[in-house]
Amino acid sequence: MDFDIREQIATYVAGGMDAASLEDQIQDLAWDLDTEPSRSHAATALRLLAERANGDWTDPALRDRLGALNRVYWFDRATESWGSSDASFTRVEVRPWEVAGRLHVAAYV
């Protein structure tokens, strides 16, 4: 299910659907989530969508934040699966990336 949510967010970030459709999709998918961090990921996405509906974010700002949310979630899940290896991140940062005009996730080993 978490992959489906990330896929829907990625579709919105790429301009493939509107915010209302994304919210409907995430609400439908979130009903079956029973583990962390999947529930928190969906809840954060729904919170950001609600903030946009209240006028707190523009669509471009929401796309940046949801894109960053997906990337950070992926890093968190990847580090869990690498738990048995010697590799680890000392920190993960989300910062503006002026070249692309959006947020960028950087991980440091």
Q: Where exactly are the structural domains of the chain?
A: 2-108
pLDDT at 33 (0 to 100): 85
Q: Which residues pair with 105 in a beta bridge?
A: 94
pLDDT at 107 (0 to 100): 65
pLDDT string in tens for the chain (109-residue length): 667 888 999 899 999 999 999 999 999 999 888 888 888 889 999 999 999 999 999 999 999 999 989 888 776 666 665 555 555 556 677 777 666 667 766 666 5
The dihedral over CA atoms of 30, 92, 54, 61, expressed in degrees to the nearest 10, equals -110
pLDDT at 106 (0 to 100): 67
What is d(CA 11, CA 101) in angstroms, rounded to the nearest whole number?
Answer: 18
Encoded tokens for 37: 């961090």
Helices 19-30, 2-13: crossing angle, 10 deg rounding: 180
| Residue 30 and residue 69 in contact, taking contact as beta carbons nearer than 8 Å | no
pLDDT at 20 (0 to 100): 95
What is d(CA 79, CA 28) in angstroms, rounded to the nearest whole number?
Answer: 28
DSSP state of 93: E
pLDDT at 84 (0 to 100): 53
pLDDT at 16 (0 to 100): 93
